[in-house]
Structure 1
Amino acid sequence: MKVIICGAGQVGYGIAERLSQEDNDVGVIDTAASLITKMTDTLDVRGIVGHGAHPDVLAKAGADQADMIIAVTLYDEINMVACQVAHSLFNVPTKIARIRAQNYLKPEYSDLFSRDNMPIDVTISPEIEVGKMVLRRIAFPGATDVVRFADDHIAMVAIECMEDCPVVDTPLRQLSELFPDLMATVVGISRGGTLIIPQSGDHLLTGDVAYVVCQRDHIRRTLSLFGHEEQEAGSIVILGGGNIGFYVAQMIEKHQPKTRLKIVEASRERALQIADELRSTVVLNGSGLDQKLLQRADIADADLVVALTNNDQINILGSMMAKRLGAKASLVLINDPAYHDFSDDAGIDATINPRAVTISRILQQMRKGRIRAVYSVQQGNAEVIEAEALDTSPLVGQCLRDLELPDGIRIGALYRDGKVIRPDGETRIRTRDRVVLFASQDAVRHVEQLFRVSIQYF
């Protein structure tokens, strides 16, 4: 597939890195020559220095032959105009734009991004998507990741197996026998940096991260089964009152009104603005690295500090300082993947990777077949995929034990007629079933084949 990416910042780099790994023809446009040089020196992509919304620059990037344009510059208006020009002058089939300003995305303006107005096929609002991820992590503190599928009826939960994990050394098939009414299936294991697609005879070890697909209402019970009984935070301090921090505070006020919430925001103007719009949240103006200010925020009594500024160093150092002053746990937003490797050594309890959200949305558009949702895990080494089974799928009609699934695929749950089904050997997939599965990177192309509209089986 031929793809043009407008914007060579952290988001654009992450998208280009992933798409080039999958042998796509990727061209990247940015006005900063230094960013383009970095991109072309490290990735197998073409770089064009110029303005992504200018017709001559898009023409130079090969827009007349492009299958997709992904506009992820820092400016919404440039992203929108780039998609419009790509459509009007070059007839690019798929247009994706990052839109940060929520005013563009209000329901009353839903016709704005339509073919007759501004023809953008997919809008990505990273701040809101990341905010939702933060809220899920706050709601389920024992999980290292939580993602929803099948209209919010199914979840993928990543869970670390600690030393006191009750299910360590227990064969996975035995878990199904011991807890027959628990709608949960272990679909993937990360062990010492290696990704494992488990079989029913495999078992978990201390230190593993288990990827579990379960019914949404069974998340807490699943966490408890793995020994995670952490309680939701009653007192939270948020470092950073930008779009993400503000959204998280709004949702906590709306859905968890008993939670005691404080925000530390460096910009006085922004602090005043969000203080006027929030009802019960205390907003403090100052740096998240100011020890006295953190003490004023009663950081010693905080169950959780959530660092959500746009500066990784402030997030990391601020959370470390907060914990040293008495905060019980930390959740930290980290953009640069280089910082993720030492987060454990820095005493950070949990991290959020915003690039994973954006890249997952892009991959959903790239995948062939009836793919409804995609979420990338383990730095792209695997994907959790929701796909719809059609009449043409070789999965339909046979017992799962009789299927010869390619290596690297494990089915976690089915969603059928409003019900979640935990699959076993006797389960038969039916037409229109929504299948949530875990696939290694090498197996993704097989998943696309299994769910193609017109099947040509490998």
Structure 2
Amino acid sequence: MRVVIVGAGEVGSNIAASLCDSHEVVVVDHDPDRVEELNYSLDVLAVAGDAASIETLEDADVGAADLLVASTDDDETNLASCGTAKALGDAFTIARVKQYGYLRTWERAPGTFGVDFMVCSNLLTAEDIVKIIGLPTAVDVERFANGLVEMAEFEVDDDSPLVGQTVREADRYEMLTFAAILRGETVELPRGDSRLQAGDRVVVIGPSETVHEFASTATPDETAGEAEMVFVVGGGEIGFQTARLLQERGISPRLVEQDAERARELAESLADTVVLQTDATDANALDRENFGEADAVVAALDNDQKNLLVSLLAKRLGAGQTVAVVETGEYRDLFETVGVDVAVNPRTVTAEEITRFTRENTTEKLAFIEDDRAEVLEVEVDDDSGLVGRPIRESVPDLPGDVVVGAIVRGRELLSPRGETVIQSGDHVVLFVDAERAEAVTAAI
């Protein structure tokens, strides 16, 4: 497949890196230095020029492309690129936008703007934040098989009772699967005698109620239930969408916004949200609003430094979980190192969503672990699958890579995968796979 990616920032570069091994990839960017860097670092053809210009897209031979991904930081440039691509050929077009209004317009009339599929960074980020708040002790959460199966990633703290236990000792739940142990830069597929250490991150897969029970075991001194008192700091688009989604889940958040006019707009739009017009860095004002008693605080201000400050202030005042929006991807690890519980990068979330879509023909749902170090994917297997008709202990070792079967859904029944379990045609199977072998594994099943 010939893929043209418009924009070589964090989003475009991540998508290019995930596709270039198996597709012909062309990247267009206005920055000549970035273009030169990509030509050396990835197996792609990088073209310098204005992505909204028909001449530049002709130079990239968009007319012969099967897929165009418009992923710059400017919504209008992305929409113009998609419209131009339709004028030049028949590529399937994907546009990244920040403004939710463009998505609402496109949803009313798919194909508008010349866009075949649209992703909204701000909405995706808010959705990611709300999933994490739903399981406060987790650092990542995804749902599969229409919500029957949940994947969650937990950090094993120094005082966790899991420290020193083997996986066999920690696995007290019939329907839970230990999919991976993330230790430093390594991804270990757990065995019964694998011993958990402080600082490990553990990935588990199972029904939601079982994952929540495990969360109580992993971090017994913290609440594993859904947060009830939530502060959202920052009334921009991500903050607004986060509050709106929390309302839909029956949570009435408190939203902090300093600008008086914007605060009025938010109060009018969010009926079940208490909007506080105050400075988010004023510790005394926040203390008066019981900021330190919050189950969760979301920092969604307009720059990374403010979000870090608010998150650390929330921790100092006694708040439970802190989730910070981090626009600069390389700061994510830094934020979590200095005390922020979870750092969410909108560009990474968007790149993952677009990559999921480009692989929809082989997977029904795809989630990424630790910035593409591993993948969790859901597939419906048929008679030709290498997994069908044999016990898991025999079929999985034949796959081209390390794989853990995390869950099996047969009809509406959730099955616990064990070595003797035989997968049947039509089953939905949730798999944990090393990222480098993911495409080979999906091809084999």
> Do both share a fold (TM > 0.5)?
yes
Contact conserved, 2:66 with 2:90, CA < 8 A, in 1? no
Contact conserved, 2:166 with 2:195, CA < 8 A, in 1? yes
Name 1:78's counterpart in structure 2. 77
1:374-413 aligned at under 5 Å gives the runs 374-403=366-395, 404-413=398-407
Q: 1:133 aligned to 2:125?
A: no
Name 1:327's counterpart in structure 2. 319
Contact conserved, 2:99 with 2:122, CA < 8 A, in 1? no
Pick the aligned partner of 1:142 from 137, 149, 159.
Answer: 137
Q: Which moved more, 1:162-171 or 1:391-400?
A: 162-171
Q: Which runs of 5+ in 1 are unaligned?
A: 452-458
- How far apart, in 2, do the equivalents of 1:238 and 1:109 lie? 28
1:47-126 aligned at under 5 Å gives the runs 47-92=46-91, 94-106=92-104, 110=107, 112-114=109-111, 120-126=115-121
Q: 1:300 aligned to 2:292?
A: yes
Contact conserved, 1:308 with 1:315, CA < 8 A, in 2? yes
Name 1:16's counterpart in structure 2. 16
Cα pair distance change 1:252/1:361, threshold 3 Å: closer
Offset from partner CA, 1:89-129 (integer Å, 9 cap, x none) = 2222x3211133334444x9646224xx6553322122222
- How far apart, in 2, do the equivalents of 1:383 and 1:420 lie? 21
- How far apart, in 2, do the equivalents of 1:442 and 1:301 lie? 43
Cα pair distance change 1:347/1:368, threshold 3 Å: closer
Q: CA deviation at 1:436?
A: 0.8
What is the DSSP-based 3-state SS (H/G/I as helix, E as strand, rest coil) of the residue aligned with 1:300?
helix
Letter in 1 for 2:52: A
Contact conserved, 1:408 with 1:442, CA < 8 A, in 2? no
- How far apart, in 1, do the equivalents of 2:167 and 2:87 lie? 54
Contact conserved, 1:356 with 1:377, CA < 8 A, in 2? no
What is the DSSP-based 3-state SS (H/G/I as helix, E as strand, rest coil) of the residue aligned with 1:204?
coil
Offset from partner CA, 1:289-338 (integer Å, 9 cap, x none) = 34455345443333332111242221112212333344344211223232
Name 2:426's counterpart in structure 1. 432
Letter in 2 for 1:216: S
Q: 1:418 aligned to 2:440?
A: no
1:27-46 aligned at under 5 Å gives the runs 27-32=26-31, 36=35, 45-46=44-45
Contact conserved, 1:142 with 1:228, CA < 8 A, in 2? no
Contact conserved, 2:10 with 2:348, CA < 8 A, in 1? no
Pick the aligned partner of 2:157 from 151, 157, 162.
Answer: 162
Contact conserved, 1:369 with 1:448, CA < 8 A, in 2? no
Q: CA deviation at 1:433?
A: 1.3
- How far apart, in 2, do the equivalents of 1:211 and 1:158 lie? 4
Q: Which moved more, 1:359-368 or 1:423-432?
A: 359-368
Letter in 2 for 1:2: R
Q: CA deviation at 1:414?
A: 1.2
- How far apart, in 2, do the equivalents of 1:54 and 1:242 lie? 31
Pick the aligned partner of 2:257 from 260, 265, 269.
Answer: 265
Contact conserved, 2:158 with 2:199, CA < 8 A, in 1? yes
Q: CA deviation at 1:366?
A: 3.6
- How far apart, in 2, do the equivalents of 1:69 and 1:124 lie? 14
What is the DSSP-based 3-state SS (H/G/I as helix, E as strand, rest coil) of the residue aligned with 2:262?
helix
Contact conserved, 1:53 with 1:78, CA < 8 A, in 2? yes
Contact conserved, 1:213 with 1:413, CA < 8 A, in 2? yes
Letter in 1 for 2:292: A
How much is the aligned-residue C-alpha RMSD, in angstroms? 2.8
Contact conserved, 1:239 with 1:305, CA < 8 A, in 2? yes
- How far apart, in 1, do the equivalents of 2:270 and 2:41 lie? 44
Cα pair distance change 1:356/1:422, threshold 3 Å: farther
Q: Which moved more, 1:186-195 or 1:218-227?
A: 218-227
Offset from partner CA, 1:134-168 (integer Å, 9 cap, x none) = 11211211111101111121111001122343444
User: What is the percentage of aligned positions where both structures have the same residue?
Assistant: 32
What is the DSSP-based 3-state SS (H/G/I as helix, E as strand, rest coil) of the residue aligned with 1:151?
helix
- How far apart, in 2, do the equivalents of 1:364 and 1:109 lie? 20
1:223-302 aligned at under 5 Å gives the runs 223-228=215-220, 230-231=222-223, 232-257=226-251, 259=252, 261-285=253-277, 287-295=279-287, 297-302=289-294
Q: 1:195 aligned to 2:187?
A: yes
Contact conserved, 1:155 with 1:216, CA < 8 A, in 2? yes
- How far apart, in 1, do the equivalents of 2:38 and 2:301 lie? 25
Contact conserved, 1:356 with 1:375, CA < 8 A, in 2? no
Contact conserved, 1:356 with 1:376, CA < 8 A, in 2? no
Letter in 1 for 2:77: I
Q: CA deviation at 1:66?
A: 2.5
Q: 1:443 aligned to 2:437?
A: yes
What is the DSSP-based 3-state SS (H/G/I as helix, E as strand, rest coil) of the residue aligned with 1:179?
coil
Name 1:336's counterpart in structure 2. 328
- TM-score scaled by structure 2? 0.88
Q: Which moved more, 1:245-254 or 1:25-34?
A: 25-34
- How far apart, in 1, do the equivalents of 2:116 and 2:363 lie? 16
Q: Which runs of 5+ in 2 are unaligned?
A: none
Q: Which moved more, 1:375-384 or 1:33-42?
A: 33-42
Contact conserved, 1:142 with 1:229, CA < 8 A, in 2? no
